[in-house]
């Protein structure tokens, strides 16, 4: 059952994200681990935490999920732990069973995952942490379990778009035994020690803050990441800019001198105005540096995949259209990030199951497996051809338009932006300086 769930998770991840990069400060520790992650991407955060973990996590999740038959079987299969929230149950909320299950899991060397903010946050910054994570750690410590705390920062380039990019930044783990000397010790270190709970929550917030980039809003984040892309393209030997480098550079811009931050945003607006005249969207900026040879290579690969992509579009058309409609619906970014993987987990397997049934009716088990496998293969080809074909078309159009005054204006706006970003980075406070 776990292999089936892992396969479905992989499908949902590939359908929802163009890339998920994982950057680790240190290897993931063995034994009992509590992953603490920010929660700004809705259901998508589950996919990215799984991607950032070496072991399949046991999530602490809202107990209302267990009310739905299919969801209940899935949550039980992955040994998730239900949480009773006051928002759902009022004064009747009781988490005695949740804490007991969490303590038992850590005693068995499980890797648990919790979002200490308590709910999905609609803006790209940390909300005040609740005390559940600290109480779990102290309860396990009381039972003789030295748990490793593993902070995990989830970074998204516009979580509302279909097939966006994500970085999972995994910070260095810290053992409870290393933190205990700094906690209030006038009372036993238990979940009922209010001062110790608050102090440990503050430590968790600091550790999580080191791996989470914070912005005023999604527009600011998108502008800083566009600025970072333009800067990196001009300061590297390759046209391929990883989202990890891009997100890190954008975060440094967010720590720069406030006056330079404002200037960066002004320069970004001037630059994107020129980019729009060329017919390219700002999220395609990193690809503007493609050379003719690179573009020709991409075009050849796209052409080779067209037959399989055509088939994939035909059989996966309905769920693909559903994902597109969610992206265009205008719902909040975090809501869109929840709806897309949930829809993908249902829509695509349903189509592939239908293909398998058709193959089974004609050629038995072998036919079922063979025909069902063409569903995900066709989907991968269709997505690749759609993304790369559109990109190549837009870049070709941009090159055709880029001449004379328009080209000069574009290059001037680009160079101004790069110079401003360089000045901002020179004043940026790095995590260790905060």
| Strand segments (E) across 17-93 | 17-24, 33-37, 58-62, 81-83
Would you give the distance in Å from CA 33 to the centre of its chain? 21
* Domain map (residue ranges) of the chain: 2-209, 218-278+409-433, 289-401
Reply yes or no on whether the pLDDT at 384 is more than 90.
no
Q: What integer pLDDT is reported at residue 153 of this predicted model?
A: 93
Q: Quote the DSSP letter at residue 65.
A: G
Distance in angstroms (rounded) separating the CA atoms of residues 415 and 412? 5
Mean pLDDT, rounded, for 81-105: 85
**pLDDT tens by residue, 33-58:** 999 999 877 778 888 999 999 999 99
On whether the CB atoms of residues 187 and 198 are closer than 8 A, the answer is no
Select from 221, 219, 230 the least CA-distant residue to 419: 230
* pLDDT value for 17: 81
- Strand positions, DSSP E, 281-409: none
pLDDT of residue 29: 93
Q: How far apart are CA 242 and CA 250, in angstroms?
A: 12
Looking up tokens 């058709």 gives 358
Mean of all residue pLDDT scores within the chain: 84
Average pLDDT over residues 258-280: 84
Which pLDDT does position 403 carry in this prediction? 58
pTM, full prediction: 0.77
């Amino acid at each position: 059952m776990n292999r089936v769930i892992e396969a479905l998770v992989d499908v949902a991840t590939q359908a929802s994200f163009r890339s998920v990069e994982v950057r680790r400060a240190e290897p993931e520790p063995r034994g009992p681990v509590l992953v603490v992650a920010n929660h700004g991407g809705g259901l998508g955060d589950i996919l990215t935490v799984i991607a950032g973990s070496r072991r399949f996590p046991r999530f602490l999740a809202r107990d209302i999920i267990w009310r739905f038959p299919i969801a209940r079987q899935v949550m039980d299969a992955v040994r998730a732990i239900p949480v009773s929230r006051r928002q759902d149950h009022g004064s009747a909320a009781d988490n005695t069973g949740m804490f007991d299950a969490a303590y038992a899991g850590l005693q068995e060397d499980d890797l648990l995952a919790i979002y200490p903010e308590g709910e999905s946050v609609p803006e790209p910054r940390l909300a005040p942490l609740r005390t559940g994570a600290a109480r779990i750690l102290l309860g396990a410590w009381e039972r003789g379990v030295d748990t490793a705390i593993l902070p995990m920062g989830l970074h998204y380039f516009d979580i509302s778009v279909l097939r966006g990019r994500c970085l999972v930044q995994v910070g260095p783990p810290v053992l409870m035994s290393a933190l205990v000397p700094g906690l209030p010790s006038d009372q036993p270190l238990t979940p009922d020690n209010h001062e110790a709970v608050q102090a440990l929550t503050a430590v968790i917030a600091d550790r999580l803050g080191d791996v989470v980039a914070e912005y005023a809003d999604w527009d600011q984040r998108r502008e800083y990441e566009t600025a970072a892309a333009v800067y990196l393209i001009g300061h590297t030997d390759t046209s391929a800019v990883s989202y990890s480098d891009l997100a890190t550079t954008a975060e440094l811009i967010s720590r720069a001198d406030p006056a330079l931050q404002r200037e960066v945003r002004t320069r970004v607006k001037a630059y994107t105005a020129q980019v729009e005249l060329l017919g390219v969207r700002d999220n395609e900026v990193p690809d503007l540096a493609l050379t003719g040879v690179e573009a020709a290579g991409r075009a050849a690969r796209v052409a080779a995949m067209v037959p399989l992509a055509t088939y994939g579009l035909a059989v996966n058309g309905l769920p693909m259209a559903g994902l597109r409609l969610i992206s265009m619906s205008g719902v909040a970014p975090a809501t869109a990030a929840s709806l897309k993987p949930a829809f993908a987990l249902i829509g695509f397997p349903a189509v592939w199951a239908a293909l398998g049934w058709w193959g089974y009716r004609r050629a038995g088990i072998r036919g079922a497996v063979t025909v069902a496998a063409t569903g995900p293969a066709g989907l991968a080809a269709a997505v690749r051809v759609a993304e790369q074909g559109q990109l190549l078309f837009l870049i070709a159009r941009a090159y055709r338009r880029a001449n004379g005054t328009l080209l000069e204006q574009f290059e001037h706006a680009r160079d101004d932006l790069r110079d401003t970003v360089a000045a901002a980075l020179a004043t940026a406070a790095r995590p260790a300086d905060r």
